[in-house]
Structure 1
Amino acid sequence: MTKFIFVTGGVLSGVGKGVTTSSIAKILQMRGASVTAVKIDPYLNVDAGTMNPFAHGEVFVTMDGGETDLDLGHYERFLDIELSKDHNITSGQVYLKVINDERQGRYLGQTVQLIPHVTDEIKRRLRLVADESKADVVMVEIGGTVGDYEGLAFLEAIRQMRLEEDGNVMFIHVALVPILETTDEFKTKPLQHSVMELRRVGIQPDAIVARSMKPLTPDIRRKIALFTNVAESAIFSSFDVDTVYRVPVLLDEQGLGDHIGKMLGLQLRKADWSLWLKLSDAIVNAKDEVNVVLCGKYVRLHDSYISIIEALKHAGAHLGVKPVITWCDSDEVESSPDVLSNMKPDAVIVLPGFGARGVEGKIMTIRFARENNIPFLGICYGMQLAVVEFARHVMGYEDAHTTEVNPSTNHPIIDLTPEEVGVTEVGGTMILGNREIKLMEGSIVHNIYGSSKIVERHRHRYEVNPKYFDELRRSGLVLSGWRADLDRVETIELPNHYFFVGTQFHPEFKSRLTRPQPLFVALLKSAMYRKRGLSSPYTGVQP
């Protein structure tokens, strides 16, 4: 029988449920269980694709084209697995299915209600993931905070599952234990009240993970146990650490894996954390630093680019170098171009995004990297604008642009893809998910990947206009990667530059701590070589 572990959160959002869920899943995986993970989001959006990154952070894209919550990125990075869109359940999906079923007469005249029809649909989706994954354990993170009205249906559904999946369900509650600054005193009352809210809807936690700035003291553990009716041995301290990859080891050392194994009847071996710890240490302790400037329009919320941040950390851990991120707002570049010189970048990434705001700042950043021979990686929109910049300042097409921003440009270097013409709905209608890509032999990207065929994830509507392929080539831009099934550009590069690569796909979504994404390794390696005054490891160009 599949085991279900439900993770709830209390006190406030952003307490770290995603990392905690990923860490518990990693503990079980390292101890021999097969594990998968699901994120439940109570909002009424069908998916995260139409949500502003400032409000919600990054939209993570699954292999089958799901636009999902960023926590699925945590799950994939920790577990080194690929998840499907079924692993992100929203209220919008649930209610849409129930209403459609009612319209089609599938309830045979019943009065359709929250209980049982909505809760049954939630349970059906969770069991579907269990059946399809064949996992020993399904981790389920309930988004939001206990006490939110919008989450009540999900709490009721998992309460029912405790009765229906006899002995195969466990509840773990994650809540903040703040420290009062004036007295340096732990305050447990917020956690106590969040557990009271859970118990009010019929859920008694089997374990508590207390988030705090520093480790809980024994007396605080005892106090939490007393007021929550959770055994002291089931109170675990998740305190602030220098990298999230230490959290699973921290919790396993406190006995969380043993507690789960005992509760659910799992036979778990002892985990070997040696490689995981070595890489975690490398993230924190690397002495060589490279300054990576990340230029985009959502940089005020760093979670908007969390997969790129983590991909840089993974690459740095394997190279023994620490990427120091300098955030660059593309709007600021437009008003103060000198800001780029003042940042003294060793490498530049122009980030993904959509729309007109900040576009000229991104183009100015790309030109700065190209003309100053600075290692450059353009991702999705970053690649498209790199082609626009090349057309303007190398080919001489001053008004070259993407039709996304200027539909009437005389030189539509970037244009809407044919399959997107006539599409009116914006949700889930882009080119999404995994696509196979062919890499040109002898190219920089072929050298980086060591393969002529790769699979990467996509999220875009616009691409390099085929009408300009020949002109771009004649002017010196190498179109080095192509969709395997269509004549579409996937990567561009400049062989006469220290390191200049753009990708239509999103390489960050497939990076893992134990298996870093090759393009980020190549970017940091180039930055490191250039900083040392060495010729480029990929083009031979001098710094």
Structure 2
Amino acid sequence: MTKYIFVTGGVLSSLGKGITAASIGALLKHSGKQVGMLKIDPYINVDPGTMSPLEHGEVFVTKDGAETDLDIGNYERFLDASFLRTSNFTTGQVYSSVIERERSGGYLGQTIQVVPHIVGEIVDRIKKAGEGHEILVVELGGTVGDIEGLPYMEAIRMMKHDDEVEGTFFIHVTLIPFIKAAGEHKSKPTQHSVQELRRIGITPQMIIARSEERLPKTFKKKLALACDVSNDSIIEAMDEQTIYAVPLSFLQQNILAPISKELELGELKPDMEQWDSLVKKIVSPKYHVTIGFVGKYLELKESYKSLIEALIHSGAHLDTRVAIHWVDSEKIETQGAEALLRDCDSVLVAGGFGNRGVEGKIEAIRYARENNMPYLGICLGMQLSIVEYARNVLGYEDANSIEFNPTTTHPMIYLIDNFIDQSGETQLRTHHSPMGGTLRLGEYPCETKAGSKLRAAYNNEPLIYERHRHRYEANPTYREALENAGMIVTGESHGLIEAVEIPKHPWFLGVQFHPEFTSRLQSPNASILGFVKATFDHANPNPA
């Protein structure tokens, strides 16, 4: 049977529950345990797929094609594992499932209530996520006292008494404010948060104390006494230079000892030697490069969370700090690419939806191509590299994607529905969005071309697997014209164009997939690592 670690939050949001959960999971996995992860989102949306990036941040896509919370990305990056759609669920999914079952007669005419039906569905989903794992780390979104979270609190309270559950451990992440005028830490917000948990019927066994200042020993003892936890169960969570230092900080405080004692896990000795080495290279690298990151959601950089982390992973393996020079693609349209990108060592054009800033991205691609700067285009970044090449090399002046110009005479990029209609392809796992259109989601194989930079980046593997999230595809009608003009297709999947390169360019790669979704600290994604290596070679032709 599975043992469960529940991570809740108090006082306010954004305290780092996700990093806390991921760090604990990583330490347990490096101790040889089979660890699963689960993020519960109390919002009523079915999933974040239709939510604005400015509202929710990045939508992380799992191997099996689920659109999930960005914390699932943290779990994968910290545990070097792939999790499935069972690792994330929302209130919207819970209620949809219960209502659908009620409509089909599954409850045999019962009156449907929050207790036991909604709470029972939550418990069932938590248990399903725990199947096959010794330990499941469960992060509950939101804070104690949120009206949306009450059914979940009741569910995890009930699991303490469930005969099918081998053990439970409750961790509460809370804020310890430091009042500068008084020169004191204050414990009352945490005490009130813990009291609210107790009122619900949950007694936390560990406090993760978020603070901007170190906690004095006397204060920690006071906090332990007030919250009814042992002294060794007050764990400080300070701001670190990198999130990947958090597991090491927890380990130094012997966080696993009280967890192991309560859950009877035996002696835990995580092997963090490689992790520690990589963290040191993130904090104090030998080299430095600057990448021009061209995007359109720069108001909230969480929209590019996985990609930012992927650049950090690659930098760590190259002992190089990857500095990101953020470039708003709309500003390129007014100020020009040279003014905003001339001090960069390479150019990256990220994905996105909608027409805003597209012409600026195209100008950035042209600048990188004409100035022999290493270039990586991801999803929309690949599509626009084809559009740019068609306009400025092939001479198709109105070349475009039908997403931005439905009446273009040269639709270089078209809806995946067109490909399915023309080819009769049935092997694609697609999802029809409730907002209209067919999305290609999840992991697909990609055949790489011999002699290409793509294949070389992936250690000469002829077949690779990467994840997707998009509605539009490169139009294969123009493949011959592009290749005759020097842009080669170097990756294919079920007849779809997955990657393009310009062999005469030092390093120019566009990929339809999202390589950032499979990058981990200990195993960076190959195409992003290849891009950062090309950036390094361009910036440091003769490194010391």
Q: TM-score range by the shorter chain?
A: over 0.9
Q: Given the superposition, is the C-alpha separation of residues 34 and 460 from structure 1 closer, same or farther in structure 2, using an over 3 Å criterion?
A: same
Q: Distance in 2 between matches of 1:370 and 1:184?
A: 56
1:398-409 to structure 2, matched below 5 A, reads 398-409=397-408
Contact residue 400 and residue 410 of structure 1 kept, 8 A: yes
- Aligned residue runs from structure 1 range 42-53, under 5 A: 42-53=42-53
2:500 corresponds in structure 1 to 492
Tell me, yes or no, if structure 1 residue 282 matches structure 2 residue 284: no
Aligned ranges 1:134-283 → 2 under 5 Å: 134-165=132-163, 168-283=167-282
Alignment pair present for 1:514 and 2:513: no
Q: Tell me whether 330-339 or 366-375 shows the greater mean CA deviation.
A: 330-339
Deviation, structure 1 residue 529: 1.1
The aligned counterpart of 1:17 is: 17
Q: 1:138 to 1:424 in 2, by over 3 A?
A: closer
1:119 to 1:465, Cα distance in 2 relative to 1, 3 A: same
Which position in structure 2 is the counterpart of 1:540?
A: none
CA distance in 2, matches of 1:71, 1:380: 22
Amino acid at match of 2:364: T
CA contact 1:49–1:427 (8 Å) conserved in 2: no
Partner of 1:317: 316
Aligned to 2:509: 501
Percent identity, aligned pairs only, is 47
Matched, 1:448 2:457: yes
Q: Is the 8 A contact 2:490 2:501 kept in 1?
A: yes
1-structure distance, mates of 2:171, 2:438: 36
For 1:541, the equivalent position in structure 2 comes to none
CA contact (8 A) 1:282 1:317 kept: yes
One-letter amino acid of the counterpart of residue 180, structure 1: I
Q: Match for residue 36 of structure 1?
A: 36
Runs of 4+ with deviation above 6 angstroms? 419-422
Which has the larger displacement, 103-112 or 424-433? 424-433
Which residue identity does 2:181 align to in structure 1? Answer: T
- Partners of 1:209 and 1:303 in 2: CA distance: 23
Structure 2: any 5+ residue segments left out of the alignment?
A: 422-430
1:103 aligned partner: 103
The Cα of 1:126 is off from its aligned counterpart by 1.0
Deviation at 1:77, TM superposition (A): 0.6
C-alpha distance in 2 between matches for 1:308 and 1:264: 36
Q: Give, as a single letter, the amino acid of the residue that structure 2 aligns with 1:149.
A: I
- CA deviation after TM superposition for structure 1 residue 272, in Å: 2.2
Summarize the Cα distance change of 1:339–1:210 in structure 2 as closer, same or farther, 3 Å threshold.
farther
AA matched with 1:111: T
Check conservation: 1:176, 1:211, Cα contact below 8 A: yes
Alignment of 1:435 onto 2:433: no
Q: Deviations over 1:281-335 (max 9, x none)?
A: 0011113110011111111211111111111111111111110011111112112
CA contact 1:491–1:501 (8 Å) conserved in 2: yes
1:268 CA drift (Å): 3.4
Query: Kindly tell me: are residues 478 and 340 of structure 1, through their superposed partners in 2, closer, same or farther at Cα, counting changes over 3 Å?
Result: farther
The CA deviation at 1:180 is 2.0
1:5 alignment counterpart: 5
Name the SS of the counterpart of 1:106 in structure 2: coil
Question: By how many angstroms is 1:178 displaced?
Answer: 2.0
Give 1:475's aligned residue. 485
Tell me, in whole angstroms, the C-alpha distance in 2 between the residues paired with 1:336 and 1:311: 29
> After superposition, what is the alpha-carbon deviation per residue over 1:319-352, rounded to whole angstroms, capped at 9, x for unaligned?
1111001111111211221564465110111011
Find the aligned partners of 1:307 and 1:36 in 2 and give their Cα distance.
Answer: 20
- Distance in 2 between residues matched to 1:423 and 1:55, nearest whole Å: 22
Give the SS at the match of 2:396.
coil
Shift of residue 44 of structure 1? Answer: 0.9
> How big is the shift at 1:532?
2.4
Would you say 1:464 and 2:462 are equivalent positions?
A: no
1:487-528 C-alpha deviation (Å, 9 max, x unpaired):
110000111112110100000011111111111211111111
Paired with 1:34 and 1:426, the residues of 2 have a C-alpha distance of 38
- Displacement, 1:184? 3.9
Q: CA deviation at 1:424?
A: 6.3
Please identify, of 262-271 and 407-416, the stretch whose mean Cα deviation from structure 2 is larger: 262-271
Name the SS for the 2:535 alignment partner: helix
CA distance in 1, matches of 2:139, 2:487: 46
TM-score, with structure 2 as normaliser: 0.95
How many Å separate the matches in 1 of 2:267 and 2:468?
37
- Give the Cα–Cα distance (whole angstroms) in 1 for the partners of residues 294 and 437 of structure 2: 26
Number of equivalent positions: 531
Partner of residue 410, structure 1: 409
Higher mean C-alpha deviation, range 415-424 or range 162-171: 415-424
Q: Is the 8 A contact 1:159 1:202 kept in 2?
A: yes
TM-score w.r.t. structure 1 length? Answer: 0.95
Structure 1 position 426 matched with structure 2 position 435: yes
